[in-house]
Amino acid sequence: MPLICLSDFEAYAKKHLPKATWEYFAAGADDSYTRDDNLRAFKRIRLWPRMLCDVSVIDTKTTILGTEISFPVGIAPTGFHRLAWPRGEKSTAKAAEAMNVCYIASTYATCSMEETVAAAPAGFRWFQLYIHQKRSASVQLVRRAEASGFQAVVLTVDVPYSGKRRDDIRNSFHLPQHMSVKNLEGVFE
């Protein structure tokens, strides 16, 4: 069966990923109100066609922070890609590089920012940073991102307290022993 639209990919992932992994990716926190509101908001977006105009040449390119990208969509920061694919964020960064879109690498990646850059050296990438209570940890991560060639830092400030991810609690979810949050290794020592 060919994967044609987003719901096809979702059904494929649900069928092929382990239950706990699928529920980690699909779930929200607490009653999932924010996740559900976001899905409803996305469904309300409408692209209004323009009739009777020349569409023989279509150009979706745009420029963001001085860098031209192929279309105005980026890959948002999500963690733990290796749960779904062995090369994890390295493959995501490589795909973004091939499509010439912005990849926003997560603090909670299972590949380090340095590994991600090595996998996609010409990619346009930003680094997502959770502001840590230990400010020196945040500074260390920003300096690593800058040294690795990330063009911007995306601050996440909405998680002073993590919501209860009920499916993760029910599944006793944790990263497999062979995986870790690579960007945080050695940061809090």
CA distance 135 to 90: 27
Instruction: Using the predicted structure, report yes or no on whether residue 123 has a pLDDT greater than 70.
Output: yes
Is 38 a domain residue? no
**How many folded domains does the chain comprise?**
1
The CATH code of the domain that includes 56 is 3.20.20.70
DSSP H or E segment with residue 140: helix 135-148
CA distance 159 to 93: 25
Is 189 a domain residue? no
Is 56 a domain residue? yes
Is 8 a domain residue? no
Is 55 a domain residue? yes
The model scores a pTM over 0.95:
no
Radius of gyration of the chain (CA): 18
For residue 25, give both structure tokens: 């990716």
Mean pLDDT of 111-140: 94
Plot region of 80 (φ>0 → left; ψ -120 to 50 → alpha; else → beta): left
Q: Which domain holds residue 125?
A: 50-184
**Residue 29: which of 171, 172, 165 has the closest Cα?**
165
Residue-wise pLDDT tens digits, 160-189: 667 888 999 999 999 999 999 999 998 877
CA distance 16 to 19: 9
Q: What is the pLDDT of residue 160?
A: 64
Mean pLDDT of 32-40: 92
